[in-house]
Structure formats: structure tokens, C-alpha cells
Chains A and B, each alone.
Chain A
Amino acid sequence: MEFRGFMKEFILSELEDAVGQENVSILKGDKLAYATDYFWIARMVVDKGGEAALPDFVVRPGSAEEVSKVLKIANYYKIPVQTWGGGSGSQGGALPLAGGILLDIKRMDKLINLDVKNGIVTCETGMIFQTLEWYANEQGYSVMHLPSCLTCCTVGGALAHNGIGILSTKYGKIDDQVVNLEVVLPNGDIINTLPVPKHSSGPNLLGLFLGSEGTLGVMTKVTFKLIKLPETRRHHAFLFSDISTGYNACREIVQAVKPSIVRLFDEAETVSIIKKVIGFEKKGSFLNLTLEGYSSIVAEEEKIVLAIAEKHGAQYLGTEYGEKWFENRITFFYPGIMMNNPQMFGTVDTTATYDNIEKVYWAMKHAIEDNFEGVRFISHSSHWYDWGCMNYSRFIIDNPPESEDECIRLHNRIWNAGVRAAIENGGVINDHHGVGVKLSRLMKENYGPAMQVLEGIKKALDPNGIMNPYKMGL
């Protein structure tokens, strides 16, 4: 942002007054830390030594009240505010692309209440999700939200893009796990959603803020459901002849029992990443599946799963590969194993009903593989519902163009092709990584006239448009 005369120092002193001098920084070392999140384009710019978008002020509030003060200042001066949690998002949702204030919420990391009787836990949203999980585990419980970014994301980041964890098929997405929220609105008012998530007391405000990606306010406190750690957790692995057979078998399984983990890999991912990380060498469509809970119930569920898998001609691979996958569930994302720059890559994840999910898979695969040279397409389906499932499809280009411009152009064309293929076949823009700046332009295509609802809410809550500009199509 351009500040004239003494205005930058003037605003700096107001921000320091709001959160304490030591919690506001304009130091280069602090600003550079926000040059990139996990978004490929931001990484590519850094990798090529290009100019990253940096904030003017790094502000670290310690409470909802301090967030409120900062938002009032930002509204008065009409300064953009981009909220940053762990910075592990892949959609550029937290990037300070408009300059102004980078609101880093990690100082708000207090555990407020762990209530075993009511089965709930309340914390501030700047807490690292792993820390919350440790606190729950200490008491024999879990939040049962274990995303791959568990160790690096904040609770607030997971709420902001409506995230999901590996146990989702049994315990749900994060919007199934939240009980209530505290939110600071763009005008600085601190509000609470109703104390319980299920009611007939008007539209549910939880659904408005979960997944709003910092465009409608700042979520500062959350209460989650607590689940007792399972008596047993048993892992299994299967091999199907192809992804199509796998889809049918898994649909039947999840409509009969509730596994916690169901991960079905297409043939391309089975022979690449699964082989690399857990050493499985055969061709086909690999599935790892986990059942958990009371041992006696798990034993009955296992019988049902094995029977359905057998009916679909699956080869049962025993428990070893499933255990290995679980042990290595985060290893997949470490540098040296995960795709890395200068490779170009992206996760084009989407969700659809069972009728449509395979159509979406093939449409996306063709849209990407048939139209772009040197691209690989791999996919797995890792979150399953009664009505459908998601595809976690990825494209990889080992030798992308040299120039930044060409990289951005090619990257966006691939994304446009993949996401439009999904939408045309009954899918959505995204399953669980969010929209961010990456997919902002496609929101209207997906929502159609319904987009005016989101636009109207945005205008009412954030008339100055200061909250996370360029993101989520708002």
C-alpha cells in the first residue's frame, strides 16, 4: 500500500497501542516470512527470486478484544486485513496480496476449557491443531480432526477453509465437529454463534463463517466435540483391478458401515506415490481402510467389509500395508517425497455424488492429460459420505516454463480446465482446500445466481471490503 508523509508511522503507533509494541512489526525479517504459503504460484515466484507480495504491518493480536481494535483501525483507514494462521494453505488464501495488515493469530493459543462430561473442548483459534490434539489425548480423548497439516496448521486455518482430516469418513468434516464459534466482525463487534450446533432457531451461523476464509471476519474462539480415543484401530489394505471397481466397492462399504479411513488410489498413484512411500509394488487400485471403536463392533464391521470387498473381486492385502500407510500418513508431505519446485503441481480436489464421481474423475483426467503436454495426473479418493465422495486429483509437470508469466498462465489454464470439467459433471470448485486467490475467479461459474447471496452478505458485513481482498470471489 502507498502511505504518504507520516501516515505509515502514524498508523503503526495506533496498531502498537492496540496490541502492544512488541506485537507489531515492520521488520523485513518478519515480513519475508509471509512471502509464500503453500500455494504453488507464490512458491514459484520465491523460487525464481521474484518479487513477493509482503504486508506493510505484521500484527499479532493476543485476544478477540485486540483483534477488534485492529479491525476498527483498519476500517477507519480502509487498510486491507489478511488473517494468517499456520500459512500451510495451498490456495493462497492467507497471502497478503493487497499489502496492509497481516493479522497473525498464533498468539491466541490458549486452551480455555476441556469438558469431558459434555464432550467438548474450547480453545483460541491460533492454537496449532496438533497441540489441541495433544491436550485432548492427555485426557484420553481426541478432536478426531487429523489433517496432513496437523502439525503446522492452526485451528483457525482449518476453520477458515472448512478443512477435513484423514478420519473424516467416520467423524466428519470440520463443520461436523464444531459446536460453536466466537467471531470478530469486520466492524470490530465480537459475536458468538448459538451455543449448540443443531437447532431450529433460524439459519445456522456456523455455516456462514466456516469456510469464509477471512473474508467475513476473524474467528477467534471455537468449541469442538470431543471423542473418546478408540479402544481399537485396525488397518486393512486391498487391491482392486481398477478405480471403477474400487469406487463401487467403497460406496457399498461406507453405506453399510462407518470406517474412519477410506483411501482409494487410482492406478497411476498406486504405482507412483504408494510404491514410493509404503513399498507396495503391484498394479491396480490400492485401498487402505481403517475401522475403529469398540473391539467387538470393529470385529463385526470387519466381516462386512471383507465380504463386500471379496464380492467386488478385491485382493485382500492384510493389515501390514494399512498400518504402514497410517504410520507414514504425514511422511507423504515432506520435502524430498512430496512434489517440489521447480516442478509444477496442484491438487484439483472436488466432491460429487456417487452417480457423478467417476464421471468427474475421467472428465478431469482427460481435460488435463489431453490438453497439456508433459503433464501427469494422479488421484485418490480419501473422504467418503453416504451420498458421494471426493477426488483428490493432482497434476504434475516436471519441466514447467522458465518465465514467471508463462508459469502463471499455464498453471491457471490447467486449473480452469480441471475445475470446469468437475463443475460440468456435477462436482464443485473444491472439496477441502478452499478457494483462496487460486480459484477466486471460478466462484461465480460454480455458484451462478446464488453468488449474489454471498456477495450481499459480504457487502453487509464488510462494506469497505477490507477483509482478505481478492479471495473467494468476494
Chain B
Amino acid sequence: MFSVQNAKQADMCRFCWMCRHICPVAGATGSEGWGPRARGLMVSMIERGTEYDAEIADSIYHCTLCDACANDCVTGWKPADFIREARTLAVVNDIAPQSIMTQIENLSYYGNVYGLPLCEKLGEKIDALPKKADLLLYLGQSGRTVGSSVALNLMEILDKAGIVYTVLKDELPSGTFLNDLMGTTGDVQAAAAAVVSQIVNSGAKEIVALSPSDTVMFREYYGGWGLLENIKVSSATSFVAGLLAEKKLKVLPVELTASLQEPVKLTRGLEEENPLLEIVAALGINYIPLFLHGKFSRCVGNPIMECYDSSVAKRMVAVRCDDARRINSNVIITASPDDYYIMNKYADKDIRIVDIYDLINTNS
């Protein structure tokens, strides 16, 4: 049923609990069935005759695919690989949860899992930009909708730095969420090809992606498929860190003590930790590192989990707030529109969630 490689991966993980401490979903919920080991066990049992049904699929979808487990694994196993394949099988066999199917439909119709239109204010801002430019700012699904304030702040920063750029008003989804919803199928590659066509038509020679998920999708997956070969892709944080380093953007020091919600997709997928730290240093922020930082940073949920089981996202944010309180810092800084939206929605009132681009914008 599963590919030989993923069946083997699952067999390796099914009796191993070593990454339990690092799984943010199992940790926040205390649920044994929602950790990597349990999913490995389930896949191995399916391979040995257990019926794969909707109740097992529910566990398969209670994972943010944040890859903390794989990054912690001394022997290099990657639970996300067999989880993605289990999702493909769930969709193909019509046992995926209804909410997941709705998210897939929303991606087709709206370009985002939420089923929301482009933020009106953002639409007006995009209309005022040049239609073609060497630099394309790719906002991603949260940046265009629930996290549009982060996108607007970033755009103002680029304006202040004198950067000429464009944004596609009809921007297609990169495929990163489709890849998480139904695994790495031909549909994901087709979505990628459509995005590439759109980018090539825009004449862009460089892409700056606001969302860490999109950055990783462009660099890891598109790169692996031989797409976007002649187009440079940067994360928004690394691009802005560069502007600060090159003095194209000047900022005033900010009196603030804070911890960072590091973008786990970047720290793990691309081993990109420094840009956000460089921005924080440029702003003179008193940054307190958490025990779990860098590539081990704790994920606070993602749009798919938020739409599928918001109670889990809520608990993940609660754990992150506890981390902040324990180190006596009530400010959490983020550069991800996904994280900004989820944390703002669920963080307790004593914890302040701050968009790094807002800080730069206000103090430049």
C-alpha cells in the first residue's frame, strides 16, 4: 500500500519514542496518538492488514508537518515522508476528514485554505504597484488574507528602502499547503508549474517570499523539480536583514525585551536562523533565547491545523505563552504571517505578539 521507502521509515519509527519531547502537537495535547511514533505504528499496522479508515486518518492529520522530529532524529528518519503518503492515500480513498477536503477546495477557488478573498486594503496597495519589476514579492495565502497587516508592513518597508517591486494580484498558491494536505502528488507539481508560468510572465528575476512555508517550497521542492532555476528566491527576513546591513534602511533602537517565534520552516528546512536575529540585533532588542530555539524552535500551529482542529492550535499557542512567561518576557516577536495570525488569535491577554516588520516600520 505504501511505498517501500516509506513503509521502511514507518517500521523504524513505530517502536521509537526518542522524538516525543520535541513534537509540538503531542506535547501540547498530551495525545499519544498524535505523535510521530504513533503514526509510524499506524502506518506499519496498515501495511500489515489493519484497515485504514477515517478514524486513523484523523490522527494522520493531527500533525503540522513541522519536521521537528526529523531534525531531532540522530539516525535521520523522516516521519513527514510517510505521513504525507498517508495523506495522499486518505484523499484518494475518500477517508480524509471533511475539513481537509474543504481546505483543498478552498485552495482551488480562493487560493487559500481559509476560503477568504484578498484583503481589500492590500488589493488597493497592489494596484498602485508597477505591473512588472525585477523583484516579485510573493505574499502567500496568509499574507493576502488573515495576516495582511504583516504584508502591508513589509511593503511599506520596501517602499521606504526605495525598492522597486511588484506583487501579483491574482497570485496562485505555491502548492506548499496542497503538499501538506494531500502529500507530494502530481497535483502539487501541476500547481507549481502554474506558479512558475505566472512568475516567468511577470518578468521577475528575483522572488522575495513573505511566508517561510512558501520560501521552503520554492527553494526545496521547486528546486528539486528543476523549476525556477534562473530566479533567485529569498525569504523576506533575509532580504530585509540585507537592507539593514546595507544601510538602505535605517532604524531607531527599540526598548524591548522579547523572545522570538522563529520561523520553523526556515530554521529547519533551510537552516536559516541568522536573518531574524540580525534584524533583532539591528533594532537593539533585548532578545532572550528559549531552550528550544533555532532549528528546534517550537511550532505554534499552521493554517491547516487552525482550520482542521483549532483547539490544537490554541493549545500550541498556550504552550508558547507559558514559555514566554517562564523566562519573564511577555513579548513574542514573529516574522511569519501564519504565526502572527494564529498567535494573535489565541495568545492570552498578558502576552503581546509583535510583527517584526511593524517594529521596523514604526522605528524607521
Contacts and interface: CB of A to CB of B under 8 A. Distances in A.
B31 interface: yes
A134 B292 CA distance: 9
A64 to B, nearest CB: 15
A267 interface: no
Given A29-B57, A333-B18, 18 more contacts: A25-B33, A27-B33, A30-B33, A31-B33, A32-B56, A49-B45, A106-B26, A107-B29, A108-B30, A131-B21, A134-B291, A137-B291, A138-B327, A151-B72, A152-B18, A334-B74, A334-B75, A335-B13
Interface string A38-56: 1000010011110000000
Contacts, number: 134
12 contacts: A28-B55, A47-B44, A88-B20, A106-B30, A138-B326, A151-B18, A151-B19, A153-B17, A330-B18, A334-B18, A335-B13, A335-B77
B17 A87 contact: yes
Contacts of A262: none
B326 A46 contact: no
Contacts of B74: 330-331, 334
Interface stretch (A289-297, A305-313, A336-344, A460-468): A336-344
A335 B40 CA distance: 13
Contact of A35 (B13, B35, B41): B41
A110 to B, nearest CB: 9
B20 A35 contact: no
Nearest to B50: A32
A370 interface: no
A29 B55 CA distance: 5
Interface of B: 12-22, 26-27, 29-33, 35, 38, 41-42, 44-45, 48-50, 53, 55-60, 72-75, 77, 291-292, 311, 326-327
Contact of A152 (B21, B33, B73): B21
B58 A104 contact: no
B23 to A, nearest CB: 10
Given A151-B22, A334-B73, A135 B32 contact: no
A109 interface: yes
A300 interface: no
B41 A28 contact: no
Interface of A: 22, 25, 27-36, 38, 43, 46-49, 58, 60, 84, 86-88, 104-109, 111, 126, 128, 130-131, 134-135, 137-138, 149-153, 330-331, 333-337, 340-341
A29 B21 contact: no
Query: Shortest 8 CB-CB distances between A and B: which pairs?
Result: A152-B17, A49-B48, A106-B30, A29-B59, A107-B30, A33-B38, A33-B33, A28-B55
B48 A335 contact: no
Q: Which of A32, A87, A88 has the most CB of B within 10 A?
A: A32
Contacts of A333: 16, 18
Contacts of A58: 32-33
Contact of A109 (B14, B30, B292): B30
B26 to A, nearest CB: 8
B20 A152 contact: yes
A67 to B, nearest CB: 13
B75 A28 contact: no
Given A334-B75, A335-B75, A126 B30 contact: yes
Contacts of A105: 30
B291 to A, nearest CB: 5
Contacts of B12: 335-336, 340
Contacts of B15: 36, 38, 43, 335, 340-341
Contact of A104 (B18, B30, B73): B30
Contact of A32 (B17, B20, B41, B311): B41
B20 A151 contact: yes
B32 A27 contact: no
Contacts of A149: 17
A128 B27 contact: yes
Contact of A28 (B32, B56, B77): B56
A152 B59 CA distance: 19
Contacts of A128: 20-21, 27
A87 B140 CA distance: 40
A105 B30 CA distance: 8
Contacts of A49: 45, 48-50
Nearest to B73: A334
A25 B32 CA distance: 11
Contacts of A28: 53, 55-56
B55 A86 contact: no
Nearest to B20: A152
Contacts of A337: 75
B20 A27 contact: no
Q: Which of B16, B19, B22, B53 has the most CB of A within 10 A?
A: B16
A400 to B, nearest CB: 16
Given A106-B30, A151-B21, A334-B16, A36 B41 contact: yes
Nearest to A126: B30
Contact of B20 (A47, A86, A134): A86
A423 B49 CA distance: 42
B323 to A, nearest CB: 10
B41 A27 contact: no
B11 to A, nearest CB: 8
B327 A87 contact: no
Contact of B32 (A104, A131, A331): A104
A38 B59 CA distance: 21
Q: Which of A38, A87, A108, A126 has the most CB of B within 10 A?
A: A87
B58 A27 contact: yes
Contacts of A153: 17
A46 B44 contact: yes
A109 B50 CA distance: 32
Contacts of B30: 60, 104-109, 126
Given A27-B55, A335-B15, A335-B16, A130 B32 contact: no
Nearest to B57: A29
B292 to A, nearest CB: 8
